Amino acid sequence: MPSDHAPPHPPVLAFEAVRVVTDDGVELLHGVDAVVRRGRVTVLAGPSGAGKSTLLRLGNRLEVPSAGTVRFHDRDAAELDPRDLRRRVGMVFQRPVVFAGTVRDNLLVADATASEEQMVAALVRVGLDREFLDRTADDLSGGEAQRLCVARALLTRPEVLLMDEPTSALDPVNRRGVEDLARDLAGDGIGVLWVSHDLDQVRRLADDVVVMVDGRNATAEEAARFLAGDADVDGARGEEDP
């Protein structure tokens, strides 16, 4: 039972001084700290090439840190079964990745035992409906496909959702729709870690912001300049990369 003094948004996923060095000796992350809290949208912001996606991939162990620790509920993620961790820390990629077959086939990849009602509930949760179940996944629009990817991730009942610039390939209407969806999911208690270098999106979406520059946490001054749109720090734009 949580105590009366338990924080309302406890940390679920934490990155502690994580470094990533590639096999050829290139250091991509130089000791980054970040925390994802239950029921909050944490936006990982920074210019392109700052290492945001690399940090995100550490969250469900598609990458492993060369040094430092990723903690899931205070446990070192390295001690957990990666398959269990990945089902509790879902991931949505920059470009929607749909598998061959129907929407139903795609949802069954996430949970082969999912009932019809569970699949419909997941679709409805992301703004799609039962009619989509038998649609060919390849025929979905970009926005629909990205929603399907979120629905698929939700079927594993994650506590954290990692979203790697999930709206970069979407038009403005769908972009706002997926942002609203992320806010709703946070409202349901899921911790969301969202990567973006779009300052307008950061302002619309973030409960918490972690700014990265050159593979490290930005200093307070750099973060302030980045969030103020100082192009010398960030190259920030109102729109995302095409």
Partner 1 sequence: MNETAIGWGGLAASLVLIAVAVALSGWQRLHLSRSIVWACTRAAAQLFVVGFALKLVLDPDAPVAWAYVWVVVMVAVAGITIRNRAREVPGIWALGTLAMATVVVVSLAVILGLGMFPAEGRTIVPLAGMMVGNSMTASVLVGRRIVGELGDKRDEVEARLALGHSWPDASRPYVRSALRTALVPQIESTKAVGLVFLPGAMTGLVLAGADAADAVTIQLAIMYLILGSVATSITVIGLGLTRRLFTDDHRLRRVVRSTG
Binding residues for partner 1 (CB under 8 A): 23, 60-64, 82-84, 86-87, 90-91, 93, 95, 97, 99-100, 109-110, 149, 152-153, 156
| Shortest distance (Å) from residue 99 CB to partner 1 | 6
- Which CB sits closer to partner 1, 162 or 223? 162
Copy the structure tokens of residue 101.
């077959």
DSSP letter string, 8-74: SS-EEEEEEEEEEE-TTS-EEEEEEEEEEETT-EEEEE--TTSSHHHHHHHHTTSS--SEEEEEETT
CB nearer to partner 1: give 78 or 231.
78
- What are the helix and strand counts (H, E) for the chain? 9, 10
**Residue placing its CB nearer to partner 1 in the complex, 109 or 124:** 109
Choice between 5 and 83, CB closer to partner 1: 83
3-state secondary structure of 4: coil
User: Smallest distance, Å, CB 118 to partner 1?
Assistant: 15
CB of 122 to partner 1, least distance (A): 13
Q: What is the smallest separation between the CB atom of 57 and partner 1, expressed in angstroms? A: 9
Residue from 65, 59, 53 nearest 20 by CA: 65
86 or 216: whose CB is closer to partner 1?
86
Q: Would you say 217 and 211 are in contact if contact means Cβ atoms under 8 Å apart?
A: yes
3-state helix, strand, coil in the chain (%, to 5): 40, 25, 35
CB 59 within 8 A of CB 89: yes
- Minimum CB distance to partner 1, residue 209 (Å): 24
The answer to whether the beta carbons of residues 187 and 169 sit under 8 Å apart is no
Measure the CA–CA gap between 230 and 224, rounded to whole angstroms. Answer: 9
For the beta carbon of residue 53, count every other beta carbon within 10 angstroms.
Answer: 19
Q: Which helix or strand (DSSP H or E) is residue 91 part of?
A: strand 89-92
Q: How far is the CB of 7 from partner 1 (least distance, A)?
A: 28
CB closer to partner 1, 82 vs 229: 82
**Residue 135 Cβ vs partner 1, minimum distance, rounded to whole Å:** 19
Residue with smaller CB distance to partner 1, 44 or 91: 91
